Amino acid sequence: MKPTNLSSHLTRFLSHYLAYQRNLSPNTVKAYRDVFVLLLRFCRDVKGISIERLRLEQIDVELVNEFLDHLKKERHGSIRTVNQRLAVLHAFSRYIQVEEPSLLLQSQRILAMPLRRYIRNEVAYLPKDHLAVLLAQPDIKRSPGRRDAVLLSVFYDTGARVQELIDMTAGDIRLEAPAQVRILGKGRKIRVVPIMGNTVNLLQLFLPENNLMLPENYDHPVFRNKHGNKLTRMGAPSGPATGTSRV
């Protein structure tokens, strides 16, 4: 059977366009892929459309709306999750409108579909005294405790995600004025964030202690476990309940 236009374009979109042209991370590409897994299952199981016969022309506004309603009602997805799925389909439609000009109108109709409205939760924050208690938890008499103190301090200054912190290397840190750290974020986007004096002081002690000031070690992770490997998400400081990391 001859491949359909959907199979050809979807394969290129996931395997080449996102990774090489958009430079998205493997985790982001996987998240995009998972949305299409759900869409294909919906077409097969709910709409009764054979996947090997499914064509781009059938992925129109009506089908997308039905798919999003299915995610909300049958899979009990939150509005935020539904909007994330729609954002992926927007990205695919933006790609298709260039690759298949004959489907330009169909693609633009999908792009015109608005995200669904929802009430945003108020952003919570730690009171200053609670934050002081949290930062005082690590036992700085021990090497893991000193590492955790530095990690929490950098976390507080930068607002970085846990994964961004454990991916940080020695070469990402600048201690000379203006002191700052370089963070590789989602979509492989880099941002540079200033750090405060207390964090600089901690790093000035921590980096030499762990041989991270040597140029040949600039590509080494800053936060490592007892085996010298990059800290994992599970090994990151677990908060005020225990006060130290797991490794």
Share of the chain above pLDDT 90, in %: 63
Cα–Cα distance measured from residue 102 to residue 99, given in angstroms and rounded to the nearest whole number: 9
pLDDT tens sequence across 176-196: 999 999 998 877 788 999 999
Of residues 77 and 239, which shows the higher confidence score? 77
Q: Is 115 left (phi over 0), alpha (psi -120 to 50) or beta?
A: beta
C-beta neighbour count of 121 within 10 angstroms: 6
Alpha helix stretches (DSSP H) within 3-73: 5-12, 26-45, 61-73
- Check if the beta carbon of residue 238 is closer than 8 Å to that of residue 245: yes
Alpha helix stretches (DSSP H) within 100-174: 104-111, 128-135, 143-158, 162-166
pLDDT tens sequence across 95-121: 999 999 999 999 999 999 999 886 666
Residue 219, amino acid: D
Q: What confidence score (pLDDT) does residue 47 get? A: 96
pLDDT tens sequence across 32-68: 999 999 999 999 999 999 999 999 999 999 999 999 9
Cα–Cα distance measured from residue 194 to residue 171, given in angstroms and rounded to the nearest whole number: 15
Q: What confidence score (pLDDT) does residue 247 get? A: 47
Query: What spatial distance separates the first Cα and last Cα of the chain, rounded to whole Å?
Result: 54
For residue 180, list its beta bridge partners: 174, 194
